[in-house]
Chains A and B, each alone.
Chain A
Amino acid sequence: MLELNAITIRQGDFALSADLNISPGHIVAVLGPSGAGKSTLLAAIAGFTPVETGHIQWQGTDLTGLPPAQRPISILFQDNNLFPHLDARSNVALGLEPSLRLSAKQWTQVDTALERVGLTGLGRRKPAALSGGQNARIALARALLRARPVMLLDEPFGALGPGLKAEMLTLVADLARETGASVLMVSHDPADAQAIADEVIWVDGGIAHSPHNTDEIFSLPPQALSAYMGT
């Protein structure tokens, strides 16, 4: 279980607090208006933004002071998830060895991961020679290979069309179910949450609220959420 124990994050005038738990294997959508602090919440969990007070814990161990690479976490950013000068295979391989010196067995793992996300035979192409959806799949293949128990998605599919985005979300849900990973995904679109999320964290007014069951929150939305959805 990922626990955020009474954390507060401060950046200049902006402050965000959260006191909530994420159950293993759950897919949780993070919804809220622009500038509410959705990405900040993810950055704090990933270790890019320090928390001012409180603790972040995973299965009882404290993560609060750890550098990003030592946390049980993979993160996909909005963009720049890939190095443009490396081919798809090398970009995925970075998830195993940052030095890119892999054993033959590890390269097989890389190819298996590429196969799993549907990129068989495209490993030698560089990101520029692939479509946006295919680039998102490369990043997912790397996350799959790293096999961290928590996956953070900071709107990595925001630039894709609606059809492609739905496809990617389904892939994320499938991968999460196969590996048992928890997923935290930031979104602007309530439809994303309804498509795959078990629970929703509503972020507004400087507070990230505890996760609510997706069906319940949309059948009886709090006022701010219904205003956000325009209903």
Chain B
Amino acid sequence: MVSRIFKITRAGLAGGLALTAILCLIAGTMLAVLARADMLRGLGPSDWSAIRFTLLQSTLSALISVCFAIPLARALSRRNFPLRGVLITLMGAPFILPVMVAVLGLLAVFGRSGIINSTLVWVGLEPVSIYGLHGVVLAHVFFNLPLATRLILQGWQEIPGERFRLAASLGFSPRNVSRLLERPMLRSVLPGAFLVVFLVCLTSFAVALTMGGGPRATTIELAIYQAVRLDFDLAKAALLALVQFGLGVSAALLAMRFALPEAGLGAGFDRPERRWEAQRPALRIIDTGLIIFGALFLLLPLSMVVLNGLPGILNLPAEVWIAALRSLAVAMVAVAITLALALSISAFSVLHRRPFAGTLGMLGIAASPLVIGTGLFIIIHPIADPGRYALVVTALVNALMALPFALRALLPALSGAEANFGRLADGLGMKGWARMRHLWLPRLRRPLGFTAGLTAALSMGDLGVVTLFAAPDQATLPLQLYRLMGAYRMEDAAAAGLLLLGLSLTLFWLFDGGGHERA
């Protein structure tokens, strides 16, 4: 009994420490922001316009993503074709795709000298500009259309197969199926999918940094960045950070009232249910068109990144390689921190039956990285040169951002392992490290590998707080890529983009694959 108490204490201690650290980080940075914010000055006209633009672009991006996702998900749910599984897997890729890589690809297709505009000019039409509101929305739709499609596809897949058979045996037309089967499902899935996309777009800094800008297309986070880096007006930055935090928390609270769909990472791989009412030629043609359009929208920009990047990859300047090493180091530290925090919190939550611990760990999703970064900047600035802490802060914030996903993967797996084998392990006297090594780690191999891969890829591709802190010689790979683009060194930028893409995907593949091996 003594040793059992000891073990529980150890899990409690680790979990308590992890939760305290997260709370201190979030609450501490918020206090710093609160203390520094210039409440008396209030929000100026440019601040209001940033708030309006943030809400406008998030709403538009979420609306467009969801509207296109519905017919695409329906097409995927009722058609079977070669490479269907591959396409659905690829739809999960934007989640771990570095924003800068996507931006490069989108510019190659939709940019000033991209495929679309070259065609327009060739036909004799005016080229369209990708910068500003439509650029931001386009990039967000690129990232979130696949996410929304997978979420909605999961809804379709969760309709029991017998319902479609019942519909077939009662002679339902496509309209009957839509009214009696699909609409009730969509009513329960769509609000959640919309809110998830809205939340993602609310705190997406790198897209606004590269595609937005100017007085008419500045988000709150971009305004924070400009206040810190260009005007060095910390009071204004802090005030804006408060506004951003308020928006994030309101949206997250709103989201909690709806059942948020899971990321749907395993969804859609079963053979699609045969649909008797959808065998009409017109419907087949529409679905085929939709699937081809969806695949092109996703694959064309990525292929352009590979094509444009290949020629320059061997002649990359040394500073890019060094930046890549820095990013690798940051990613590894972020992985270590995320795994330590997530395991401690999960163990605490499961062994002590404290489900709120898991909820607390999800806090990071409401606090935007840039807001936490602003707080840390305000705290560090009077004591030391923030530039020296750029990489540490980046790793820490990346870990915090990955934590909600880590907990979502680990918590259910650990409570499952304990529910199935906990009594057996207790009976055999497995506790402490023995339990960890012989029960938890083997049972958690897959979610652990997935979590590590996700964190590494997210951290590798992140362009957020590092822009607030980094000195000229402290760039991570995404920041270096941004600087190359700003200096119009497009060949180097394209090659750096390919390198970043390769590194992110390889890290994810190595960790995630490691989890599948011998599992």
Contacts and interface: CB of A to CB of B under 8 A. Distances in A.
Given A67-B276, A68-B276, A81 B169 contact: no
Interface in B180-212: 180-181, 184
B180 A67 contact: no
Contact of A83 (B173, B180, B276): B180
Interface in A107-158: 146
Contact of B162 (A47, A77, A99): A77
B166 A81 contact: yes
B162 A69 contact: no
Nearest to A152: B169
Nearest to A82: B166
Interface string A60-85: 00000001111001110111110101
B160 A80 contact: yes
Given A80-B160, A81-B162, A83-B163, A75 B180 contact: no
A79 B166 CA distance: 11
B176 A74 contact: no
Interface string A35-53: 0000000000011100000
A79 B162 contact: yes
A98 B171 contact: yes
Contacts of A77: 162, 165-166
Given A67-B276, A83-B180, A48 B168 contact: yes
Task: State which size class the interface on B falls in.
Answer: 10 to 19
Given A77-B165, A80-B162, A69 B170 contact: yes
B389 interface: no
B168 A67 contact: yes
Given A48-B274, A98-B176, A80 B170 contact: no
A67 B169 CA distance: 8
A75 B169 CA distance: 8
A95 B170 contact: yes
A95 B184 CA distance: 20
Given A80-B160, A98-B170, A68 B176 contact: no
Contacts of A159: none
Query: In terms of DSSP, what is the predominant structure of the interface of chain B?
Result: helix
B321 interface: no
B53 interface: no
Contact of B163 (A67, A70, A80, A98): A80
Nearest to A77: B162
A68 B160 CA distance: 17
A70 B171 contact: yes
Contact of A98 (B160, B165, B172, B276): B172
A178 B181 CA distance: 33
Contacts of A94: 170, 180
A86 interface: yes
Interface residues of A, number: 24
A99 B171 contact: no
Contact of A68 (B165, B180, B184): B165
Contacts of B276: 67-69
A99 B176 CA distance: 6
Contacts of B165: 46, 48, 68, 75, 77
Contacts of A81: 162, 166
Contacts of A100: 180
Given A48-B274, A67-B276, A83-B163, A73 B169 contact: yes
A47 B167 CA distance: 13
A79 B162 CA distance: 8
Nearest to A69: B171
Nearest to A142: B170
Contacts of B162: 77-81
A79 B165 CA distance: 12
Nearest to B183: A85
B272 to A, nearest CB: 14
A155 to B, nearest CB: 12
Interface of B: 160, 162-163, 165-173, 175-176, 180-181, 184, 274, 276
29 contacts: A46-B169, A48-B165, A48-B274, A67-B168, A68-B165, A69-B168, A69-B170, A73-B169, A74-B169, A75-B165, A75-B169, A77-B162, A77-B165, A77-B166, A78-B162, A79-B160, A79-B162, A80-B162, A80-B166, A81-B162, A81-B166, A83-B180, A83-B181, A85-B184, A94-B180, A98-B167, A98-B170, A99-B175, A99-B176
